[in-house]
Amino acid sequence: MQAIVETLFDAVYLISVITIGVLMIRRSNGNGQFRLFGWMAVILGAGDSFHLIPRALALCTTGLENYTVALGMGKWITSVTMTVFYVLLYYVWRQRYGVKGRNGLTAAVYVLSAVRIALCMMPQNQWLSAEAPLSWGIYRNIPFALLGLVVIVLFYTSAKEHKDSAFRWMWLTIVLSFGFYIPVVLWADAVPMIGMLMIPKTCAYVWTVLIGYFAMKQECK
């Protein structure tokens, strides 16, 4: 039952976010903000597919234990593409609110992203092992959480300042995604049921993408 439900959920998620991303790229009418948002959605879906497709295959065939390498590689790739996702979201913020300068802020975003990706590349992560160390899962997610916090604060303050109703909940979608993700990093190995939090975490990302899509439909008529 888990295999069927989870596979269907993941298929709907991947198809939805990639389709919405392509539609945004094609229908942005030269609006750089929404074209960038579209690429962000495509990268989100494409990156997650490297983990979710092997997982679906594992659940529907011989089990997760027989797909350790594929699942590890998928997590590795997804960790990098999610970092790129937040860098692009930062640039969506800059374009939407006409932000100029603030080179220190941009440098901070790049430093956090670079540290995150560098930590993901370390062999100590043991991505291809069934016994990946929790400590490195924490290390690589510290700069990622800080990057997320920066983006949360930026969207919260700017949407409030500009009375931007279309993006007023963008900050909350990111808070929810991290709120559901962090317990999985910390405790999913000890309590497998906590892994179910990845479902509402995924829904939060869909909400993020839909915010951009509906804003485009409203503003690019």
User: What distance in Å separates the CA atoms of residue 42 and residue 25, rounded to the nearest whole number?
Assistant: 9
Helices of type H across the chain: 2-27, 32-60, 68-96, 103-120, 134-161, 170-187, 198-219
Residues in the chain: 221
Domain boundaries, the chain: 2-219
Complete DSSP assignment for 39-77 = HHHHHHHHHHHHHHHHHHHHHHTT-GGGGHHHHHHHHHH
212 within 8 A of 24, measured Cβ to Cβ: yes
Please give the model's pTM, rounded to 2 decimal places.
Answer: 0.93
Query: Would you give per-residue pLDDT tens digits along the chain (221 residues)?
Result: 677 888 899 999 999 999 999 999 999 888 999 999 999 999 999 999 999 999 888 888 887 788 889 999 999 999 999 999 999 999 999 999 999 999 999 999 999 999 999 999 999 999 998 888 999 999 999 999 999 999 999 999 999 999 999 999 999 999 999 999 999 888 887 787 888 888 899 999 999 999 999 999 988 76
Q: Is 178 left (phi over 0), alpha (psi -120 to 50) or beta?
A: alpha
Q: Which CATH class is domain 2-219?
A: mainly alpha
